[in-house]
Copies of this chain bind each other. A is one copy, B any other.
Amino acid sequence: MPVRVTVWGEHVHERRDESVRTLYPDGMHATIAQGIAELLGERVQVRTATLDEPEHGLSEQVLADTDVLTWWGHVAHDEVDDGVVARVHDRVLGGMGLLALHSAHYSKIFRRLMGTSCTLRWRNEGERELVWTVLPGHPIAAGVPQPLVIDAQEMYGETFDIPPPDELVFISSFAGGEVFRSGCGYTRGIGRIFYFSPGDQEYPVYHHPDVRRVLANAVLWAAPALVGEPPENAQAPQGWFERAGA
């Protein structure tokens, strides 16, 4: 059974900024989707959704048919409907994987899942970013060079106000000297979340073959072993597990 991936893109910069459109003529989401599909082939079914679609393209049905959702947003975080955010949140707790990319650190859905401010230091001057693997046995690091070199990127620096990652896979350094926890895995409910920080819209990061490798690995890692309903409080009579035949 293929992993059903929905690549969500805000798709605002690409339409208004010539520099971004040049890098991503069909939208960043199209490039991200293409990278995942190329590397994983028949192991995935990939579709895209964007902010301007009805329900941002994330209807109940679409989410029910999604194993892993990737999320890239930046200037329009506030335009994302709270009802859609609540729906995605429920689905993640129920088992859907989520890949939060770059400026999605400040998206409603990521902040809600983390419970912290998710703030950071930043500077956009096209510095070299080196992405270092610190957990080389992790499946998301498989086939990723040590370090992964991105010639020019926006700087994201500590302090990054996130919960200590359950699985810290990557740490980046920037030419200016800052460091950043750039690859962070979490389990929330029965869902898995991976935050990966490279990916500012002004640079061709999602064309980078090693970045694509990370995204493909992360899709497989986040694909649920189990999918269910969001958890609820439940009263449990004495010995219920005996009666259940467990």
Stretch at the interface among A54-62, A108-116, A199-207: A108-116
In the bound complex, residues from chain B placing their C-beta under 8 Å from that of A139 are 225
A146 to B121, CA, bound (A): 12
A171 with B158, Cβ < 8 A, contacts A95-B137, A233-B120 known: yes
Mask of A177-189 contacts with B, CB within 8 angstroms, 1/0: 1110100001111
Contact among B116, B177, B192 with A130 in the assembled complex (CB-CB below 8 Å): B177
Decide: A246 near B147, CB < 8 A? Known: A116-B189, A173-B173.
yes
Contact A238 B123 (CB under 8 A): yes
Contact of A176 among B106, B226, B238 (CB under 8 A): B238
Q: Among B143, B168, B246, which residue has its beta carbon within 8 angstroms of that of A145?
A: B246
Interface pair B187/A231, CB less than 8 Å apart: no
- Residues in B whose Cβ lies below 8 Å from that of A161: 93, 189, 231
Choose among B115, B146, B164, B179 the residue that contacts A171 (Cβ–Cβ < 8 A): B179
Binary CB contact string for chain A from 108 to 144 against chain B (1 if under 8 A, 0 otherwise)? 0000111111011111010010101111111101110
Query: Which B residues are in CB contact (< 8 Å) with A163?
Result: 115, 163, 166, 186-188
**Residue on B nearest A128 in the bound complex, by CB:** B177
Q: Given A158-B171, A164-B168, A177-B241 in contact, is the A190-B136 Cβ separation under 8 Å?
A: yes
A179: which B residues are within 8 A, CB to CB? Answer: 130, 132, 134, 171-173, 179
9 contacting pairs across A/B (C-beta < 8 A): A119-B231, A121-B233, A122-B234, A136-B190, A138-B225, A149-B242, A163-B186, A164-B168, A164-B187
